[in-house]
Amino acid sequence: MIRLEDLNVSLLNFNLRDIHLTIAENEFFALMGPTGAGKTVLLEAIAGLVPVKSGRIFFGEREVTGLPPERRGIGIVYQDHALFPHQTVLQNITYGLHFHKAQKAEAQDRQEHLIGLLQLSHLLHRLPTHLSGGEKQRVALARALMVAPEVLLLDEPLSALDPNFREEVRDALKELHKTSKATFLMVTHDFSDALFLAERAAVMNQGRLEQIGVTEEIFRRPASLFAAEFVGMKNIFPATFEDARAIVGDLEIELEGPVEESKRYVSIRPEDVPISRESVSTNGSIPLKAEIRRVVDHGFYLSIAVNTGGVTFQSVMPKSMLLDRDPKDWQEVYVHLRPSNLHTF
């Protein structure tokens, strides 16, 4: 478990302010945000590599705020792998054992388990320079978990990998999390990685945590304009609300129920804006007459801009759903907004 209490970090040109966060035992938690949001600084503060100005850090019941990194019981995996270039894969993996002498028999079991799970047995006597990106990252994971850390810190572990290696390491991470007792904290700017791996997540912006919650929930129901834009909400409109309706310009959109007056935006994910030539009302969606403004072909899917009542919605449609018909030729279409997919904040 990781508990951050009122954490403040002050660096030369960067500050983390009032960080409160509790991550449960053996949870996989993602810390998300754009470049420069302070994710890595927070990670390094938890690791003890960056001094803390005020506040406290707990691992379980143990306070680690003032401890040097080597006495915290952590593992770190960096984006650039940070393997020791002068040591073989095996030497890299067993590096931590020099300093954890007490648990030798146990370490042997763990070593075999990790080498097996991460498929490293054929690489053990090679030097890191001769490995592929995916192999390097697997070695880095084995090295970090070899000392059975209480907390595993992952700094953009997938960002530098080619797409095919990326999937392989991502699956490995998921598997490792299942078999390990450690609490996983991953920093990432990639929302899909977080969605795939993390149970809960936080969105960070300019040194503050904007939203903490179940990953899926942040994805569906971002709490702020920043979080909404970060998770790829395309259709975000300033709105006024009357009972169970949102008013955007001249357009009135039905909502599931009445919303509080403090809300200022209504939004819907582009994949929740299906378009068709016929007006169909299924699952309680309300068809709105619209005209197509722009169609961009992305290969497997099309992104379509449609205008209804003076409001332009972004829609993403898989090509298969359009049955190879070209929406550019359509004169009149309908967009279907399901009240349950509309999100206000």
Partner 1 sequence: MEKREPFFWLTISSSVVILAFIVLPLFDMVTAPSASMLRETLKDRDVLRSIWLSMYASGTAALISFVFGTPLAYLLARTHFRGKRLIESIIDLPIVIPHPVVGIAILSVAGKNHWIGQILGDLGIRIMGSVTGIITVLVFVGLPFYINTVKDGFESISPRLENVSRSLGASMAGTFFRITFPLAWRSIIIGLIMCTARAISEFGAVVIVAYHPMIAPVMIYERFEAYGLKYSQPVAVWLVLVCLFLFLVLRVLTLRKAKES
For residue 242, the minimal CB distance to partner 1 (Å) is 54
- Near partner 1 by CB under 8 A: residue from 5, 8, 27, 82: 82
Sheet with 2-11: strands ordered across: 14-23, 2-11, 54-59, 62-63
The residue type of 212 is I
Q: Do 31 and 19 meet the contact criterion of CB atoms below 8 Å apart?
A: no
- Near partner 1 by CB under 8 A: residue from 110, 143, 200, 269: 143
The torsion angle over the Cα atoms of residues 182, 183, 185 and 186, rounded to 10 degrees, is 50
Interaction between residue 210 and partner 1 (CB under 8 A): no
Q: Which is nearer to partner 1, 69 or 287 (CB)?
A: 69
Q: Which is nearer to partner 1, 98 or 181 (CB)?
A: 98
Interaction between residue 128 and partner 1 (CB under 8 A): no
Q: Which is nearer to partner 1, 40 or 211 (CB)?
A: 40
Q: One symbol per residue from 10 to 49: x for binding partner 1 (CB under 8 A), - otherwise; what is it?
A: --x-------------------------------x--xxx
Interaction between residue 85 and partner 1 (CB under 8 A): yes
Q: Which is nearer to partner 1, 71 or 122 (CB)?
A: 71
For residue 19, the minimal CB distance to partner 1 (Å) is 20
For residue 147, the minimal CB distance to partner 1 (Å) is 6
Interaction between residue 337 and partner 1 (CB under 8 A): no
Interaction between residue 239 and partner 1 (CB under 8 A): no
- Number of residues engaging partner 1 in binding (CB under 8 A): 30
Q: What is the number of residues in the chain?
A: 345
For residue 165, the minimal CB distance to partner 1 (Å) is 20
For residue 30, the minimal CB distance to partner 1 (Å) is 20
Interaction between residue 95 and partner 1 (CB under 8 A): yes
- Which region among 72-80, 156-164, 177-185, 274-282 touches partner 1 (by CB under 8 A)? 72-80
3-state secondary structure the chain: CEEEEEEEEEECCEEEEEEEEEECCCCEEEEECCCCCCHHHHHHHHHCCCCCCEEEEEECCEECCCCCHHHCCEEEEECCCCCCCCCCHHHHHCHHHHHCHHHHHHHHHHHHHHHHHCCCCCCCCCCHHHCCHHHHHHHHHHHHHCCCCCEEEEECCCCCCCHHHHHHHHHHHHHHHHHCCCEEEEEECCHHHHHHHCCEEEEEECCEEEEEEEHHHHHHCCCCHHHHHHCCCCEEEECEEECCEEEECCEEEECCCCCCCCCCEEEECHHHCCEECCCCCCCCCEEEEEEEEEEEECCCEEEEEEEECCEEEEEEEEHHHHCCCCHHHCCCEEEEECHHHCEEC
Q: Which is nearer to partner 1, 53 or 208 (CB)?
A: 53
- Near partner 1 by CB under 8 A: residue from 144, 186, 209, 239: 144
Q: One symbol per residue from 240 to 269: x for binding partner 1 (CB under 8 A), - otherwise; what is it?
A: ------------------------------
Backbone phi, then psi, for 249, in 5-degree steps? 60, -120
Interaction between residue 96 and partner 1 (CB under 8 A): yes
Q: List residues binding partner 1 (CB under 8 A).
A: 12, 44, 47-49, 68-70, 72, 74-76, 78, 80, 82, 84-86, 95-96, 98-100, 140, 143-144, 146-147, 149, 153
